[in-house]
Chains A and B, each alone.
Chain A
């Protein structure tokens, strides 16, 4: 094959680069864990409107002061409906503030969804362009973050929250953070 024309290798070269990107894009990351660099980082800055009161602008400061749960949800996400009863229970029984991020959704539909299924959230951040979700590294809905009193992300849960998730993970972490704010890392 002495006559091999080097330019014919260009498509193959491009393809190899593409494979590296694709493999890097997903082989190296397990979608069920947060990239470690976001843990113990400040919740990203944002300025977005509130779902039921579009005139109100929310920022990261609105989440400070208390350990809180931040839940990413959408009307197009069936699992959000699955976890919804548990979120309602947490907001009713556990005394932890619950904030919603309405992710990549139609605000119009989202408002009705909350009317239909009840609203466990203290407020809902309208992220209909998905920008905040991207900064948070959201892979899809539902995802739930624990944010401490200083607005630092301490834990991320991917997938629906069940009673068991609360009892085994979210509840104990929140309790620990409330009693001893610097007690856990990672």
Chain B
């Protein structure tokens, strides 16, 4: 009954979505304000019914209703509650319902926080978001209904959630990622709405910026969590694989990063207007493309959902409609618009342009690498190849190094023209950073690598110039601390974001070059040496978890005779799904991780054991979180609150009059 209620709510939400797409549009066309104002309540209704629908699926999981096929396939009565609930988005159908719910959430949020918008613009934006929701809801109802029953004979117990997904990382990773993907629908809707008005001014950039920053920050969190999850859960000690599914989330991130910079230039200086619109279209298009790649089975991947050509066909048709339609609209409406403001080659505009070109090129390169197997197959009549990390690293790394160099110089730049003297002042820090990094590498590293020195120098240079830039803003003030508080939150957001990038660069580069690992055969009492640490396998024992049994090792790690930590890696056997899982144990510290994973028993009570020493690996995710924090910071900027206040003031005045 509850499942049917969920199904029914979804159908009602679809009805509301259709109304949201149609009625305000008629209102805009006929200049009928009542119809335009309907957009707000329709958005609320859409969100509420999607929420009911989602809650019904959640209830089916909580209630162990195995007559619902989706629940039976992805849950089990012995599964701990938090995993029963995260199992809602553990497979295709439920995860797409979550995606649609989040779409409803963003739509509702736009309708609530649309203070500075005219009634007309608000109606247009919400109608576009409603139209997108229709596509998502039809997709669920027609191809991937999570409420389908197995009746009359349903299984007594469920097939259990894939053990890989029974983990904190999976509870939070997909919602964050989808918040980002779907969040790009907001700048997309603003861009399209602006195109339909035919007045392509800088106003839309001002409205879109906070939304884009938040969506982008969520996407950053999602990607960071995904990488962290892969690291500790897949048991290989890797944190990025250039896998098609990872690329699917990384491409929108790259475009989104270009977009948030380009929006700044459009808002502040009125430049790159049509380019920014195009980027907004691209960012959302790449999100949809990601959904297509993951869910259609075009590309095989370790974490792709089940192959289903029917779903793929639907998404492809949707892509053609949405992206093809918006690019056509773009080509028609943007004609004749010229960028009016000129700028010097030293200007901030130039640096943002370079940032955009590099990021878009990088996204293009990743797209090419991801789709190359398909292209090659088409050109060679069925020969198949795969493009691995060597391609991606070879193309991606040089582009990023250029980008980082620009990043180091850009915070101090000015709009229109940067004084030559200011530019020159950015370079002494490069020499300083080089000296510091080189001496650190010489002092601590086991071997000296030019690449590490080069890349870590760039990272330190970025940080040094950020600090200097902040200092230059308060140096000539008498009261230095209050001056710090006077800087805008947008400025601090930029500082945090760039700092995060520098931290991530340092982490990636140092981990890649200085990781040490060994595969060993160990029995109780055996000792292995790695990177100055001694790992001793004290004992092996059997333990029992809620839905699994495990062999657990106790590995004690010593450094210079002192015990550092005891690690308990496990080999779990999940009884229902009959899956075996490697549960690595990790001793994380700021400067290095010690990572121990159990392999298989190799006879005589000995086990295959894999140990890693990974310096600076935490920095990768810590940097990722800093970047996201920077993105969230920017929306706290006073000027967005100022918009709200002035609106309240206007309302009060209206009442008084």
Contacts and interface: CB of A to CB of B under 8 A. Distances in A.
A11 interface: yes
Contacts of A137: 382, 384
Contacts of B312: 26-27
Contacts of B162: 78
B580 A26 contact: no
Interface stretch (B62-70, B122-130, B250-258, B297-305): B297-305
A26 B324 contact: no
5 contacts: A11-B281, A25-B371, A26-B297, A27-B316, A138-B300
Interface in B253-303: 274, 278, 281-282, 285, 292, 296-300, 302
A107 B191 CA distance: 49
Contact of A15 (B235, B327, B382): B327
A6 to B, nearest CB: 9
A26 B375 CA distance: 11
A12 interface: yes
B601 A115 contact: yes
A47 interface: no
A22 B324 contact: no
A26 B382 contact: no
A17 to B, nearest CB: 10
Contacts of A75: 580
A21 B331 CA distance: 22
Contact of A139 (B307, B381, B577): B307
A83 B299 CA distance: 24
A113 B168 CA distance: 25
Interface size class of A (residues with CB under 8 A): 35 or more
A89 interface: no
A116 B300 CA distance: 27
A124 interface: no
A184 interface: no
Contacts of B300: 138-140
A78 B579 CA distance: 8
A75 B215 CA distance: 36
A64 B610 CA distance: 37
Nearest to B597: A108
Interface stretch (B142-150, B332-340, B496-504): B332-340
A50 to B, nearest CB: 16
B600 A30 contact: no
Contacts of B334: 5, 8
Interface in B302-330: 302, 307, 309, 312-313, 316, 319-320, 323-324, 327-328, 330
A134 B610 contact: no
Nearest to B160: A78
Given A108-B519, A111-B600, A25 B377 contact: yes
Interface string B591-606: 0000000011100000
A31 B336 contact: no
A171 interface: no
A172 interface: no
Contacts of A4: 331-332, 335
Contact of A112 (B296, B336, B599): B599
B236 interface: yes
Of A1, A21, A30, A112, most B-chain CB atoms within 10 Å? A112
A181 interface: no
Contact of B388 (A3, A113, A129): A129
B332 A25 contact: no
A164 B286 CA distance: 43
A131 B387 CA distance: 10
Given A115-B601, A139-B297, A22 B335 contact: no
Contacts of A18: 371
